[in-house]
Amino acid sequence: MDFKEAAKLGSCLSKDYAEDLFRLLVTYKSISASEAASRLDLHIKTVQDFLEDMYSLKILDREEVYEGKRPYFRYWLKTDHVTMSIDLTSFSHDEEVNDTRLKLKIREKRNAGVKFTTSRSNDYISSVTIWKGKGRNRTERKLNLSIPQGRFLFHLPFPNADYLSIKKIMGEAQTDNTNLPEIIDIVNVLIEFGVIETI
């Protein structure tokens, strides 16, 4: 189950009528949205959306039937157990962490409208504050950094310095390769905000 499917399932299960709907689905061989809605005193669209979500998640099956000339669906359970399993490794940046990415040369962009705040020990950056817009429309975005990210950015070349590769900066910052995904993440964010420039 991917994260979007899990979010949809979680949203459905959080509804105050979810338990009652599942009780009906267990009790009835099959049921229509209108039957379930009238039984629980719910709006038919509410029940229809729930049943369709459960169908899209393959928890329910359905069949189109006809009453006169009007078609409608009858739903029934495909399973008697519902489990949620999310593979969190799908969020990994492994696909981005390759030699090409490590060789990417970067430095701080000139006039980026940013403030780097150093730690009390003065050996890493603790946060980055970015301002966007002008005058009353000016907004502030503060990013608190992990220590490996802070050490990396402490060694980020100034705007007038030569570009350095991510790998070279990591070496100077003495950051471990196990921290590479979070370093790549903050570099991507700061490129997006126009704080870091690349060649």
Domain residue spans of the chain: 3-77, 93-198
By DSSP bridging, strand 70-77 and strand 139-144 are unpaired
- Determine phi and psi for 130, rounding to 5 degrees: -120, 135
Ranges of residues in the chain with a pLDDT under 50 are: 95
By DSSP bridging, strand 114-118 and strand 125-132 are antiparallel
Residues 74-126 have pLDDT tens digits of 999 999 999 888 888 777 655 455 567 778 899 999 988 899 999 999 999 99
**pLDDT at residue number 95:** 47
Let me know the angle formed at the C-alpha of 150 by 148 and 155, rounded to the nearest 5 degrees: 100
**pLDDT at residue number 99:** 65
Q: Positive or negative CA dihedral for 120, 122, 124, 126? A: positive
CATH for the 3-77 domain, from 3.90.1170.40, 3.40.605.10, 1.20.1280.50, 1.10.10.10? 1.10.10.10
**pLDDT at residue number 93:** 54
pTM, full prediction: 0.67
